[in-house]
Structure 1
Amino acid sequence: MSDDEPTGRPSLEAVTEWDGGISWVAHPEEDAMRGSHALATEGGVWVVDPLDADGLDDRLSDLGEVAGVVVTHDRHTRDAEAIAARHDVAVSVPEWTDLAREKLDGDPEPLDGELAGTNYEVHRLIDTDEWEEAVLVDEAGGTLVVMETLGTLPGFCEGDDDIGVHPALDEAPDGLADYRPERILVGHGESVSEDGATKLAAALDAD
């Protein structure tokens, strides 16, 4: 599938390749530096909280066939439905979420426990009337996906920390300290590509 025809979407420029997928910032000029990710797995490519861009479909096809689009945070419905429609796949949300489901035009598929055909487990992180967020965890691959609670922008980080907790949260959610990732994919700022466990522990100590 290709999206080479001219559109009003931004060009796909800020792309980072990593062992297991790609990450991109569709609007690098934005202060929020909204990041999106594509996870290349044996079960296909899962696109996470995506923002659209010209050239994205070609980059995804380089990784493999798109298996689905997943929304992990209620404010990250973004361009999920448009991308899913082009690839004829479903948008999926954790089965316990209501806020994200209400913001989508269609009826998303419920996620229960894992991304089908992958090593990524789906875990509840925050579940309140104002904030719903799940994390994706691939322990074998050393990857943790936390799209809103963690970020690398200055507003998230204390001092010299490379990653930090969202400033709107009084404290880090229970459970984050249990993870020992090498890589942490975030939804705001550049993701952490190495030594994620040490950097996460420092961020949680500073919180």
Structure 2
Amino acid sequence: MVMYDRSPSSGYRLIDTFESGFGWLAHPEETGLRASHALVGDDGDVWLFDPLDAPGIDEEIDALGDVSGIAVCSRYHARDAAAFARRYDVPVSVPSWLGRVPNQIQAPLEYYDDEVGSSGFLFRRVDSIPGWCEAAPYRETDGTLYVPDVLGTAPLYTTDSERLGVYLLCRLLPPLEAFTGLKPKRILVGHGTGLFDEPPAALQTALANARRGFPRALLENGPTQLRALTDALGE
């Protein structure tokens, strides 16, 4: 099975539906399970997070509301942000401290440090290991947390009974500080389906067990994670 399907999507699968948004898998059969999300901001407009294009997805997005902007939260998630920005005539918002992405996107950019527009999402900087940096949006008013890369539910992230796993390369130095004090009501991820069942417990367990679970994760997921990292450089 292909890790990241670069061909045009032939159809999407809706995931993570709740009162303020939804997610979708543009290539449901790929191993990497890249997830995209459309979330209603505090201003009532829609923000697209790390989106991948798919036929018919615009109808789902338009039913949610008017698109106010696109947010790219990982240096490896340029994805189809530029295409959506041109289609909706909105800028792509990027953390001012996030490298690589500006060179990957041919569309107007807006840089932010903490909050994207009036979405209500505050972006926590995740620095796990040298060279690793991403933004994890969290909105306290409804407890929505989105983590693009360092946490995931796709099989290449998890082992044994884990519901949420830390990216293999980050298990030895899990980003504890980035998620300190958070009690999310839902955890959305950039790879896999979100967690709606006791997400605080899943988050705490994933971070607490990351280091001790490294040997098993290396054995079970090492080759797959290496292939994912190599393929991600093409994002």
Could you tell me the TM-score, scaled by structure 1's length?
0.90
Q: Secondary structure at the match of 1:194?
A: coil
| CA–CA distance in structure 1, aligned partners of residues 121 and 200 of structure 2 | 17
Match of 1:201?
204
Match of 1:4?
none
Match of 1:172?
174
Q: CA RMSD in A?
A: 1.7
User: Which letter does structure 2 place at the counterpart of 1:125?
Assistant: V
- Which consecutive segments of 4 or more residues in structure 1 shift more than 3 A? 127-130
Structure 2 stretches lacking a partner, 5+ long: 1-7, 211-235
1:74 matched to 2:75? The reply is yes
Match of 2:225?
none
User: Which letter does structure 1 place at the counterpart of 2:113?
Assistant: D
Structure 1 stretches lacking a partner, 5+ long: 1-7
Q: Is the 8 A contact 1:182 1:195 kept in 2?
A: yes
Written as runs of structure 1 = structure 2, the 5 A alignment for 1:107-186 is 107-126=108-127, 130-169=131-170, 170-173=172-175, 174-186=177-189
| CA–CA distance in structure 2, aligned partners of residues 34 and 98 of structure 1 | 20
| CA–CA distance in structure 2, aligned partners of residues 205 and 13 of structure 1 | 32
Looking at secondary structure, tell me which structure has more strand per residue: 1
User: Which letter does structure 1 place at the counterpart of 2:41?
Assistant: T
Looking at secondary structure, tell me which structure has more helix per residue: 2
After TM superposition, the structure 1 stretch with the greater mean CA deviation from structure 2, 65-74 or 156-165, is: 156-165
After TM superposition, the structure 1 stretch with the greater mean CA deviation from structure 2, 110-119 or 49-58, is: 110-119
Deviation at 1:130, TM superposition (A): 3.3
Deviations 1:81-102 (A, max 9, x none): 0011100000110111222112
Identity across matched positions, percent:
35
Deviation at 1:107, TM superposition (A): 4.5
Match of 2:92?
91
- What number of residue pairs does the alignment pair up? 200
Q: Secondary structure at the match of 1:184?
A: strand
Could you tell me the TM-score, scaled by structure 2's length?
0.80
Deviations 1:64-120 (A, max 9, x none): 000000000000000000011100000110111222112222451102311212221
Match of 2:38?
38
1:188 matched to 2:171? The reply is no
Deviation at 1:131, TM superposition (A): 2.8
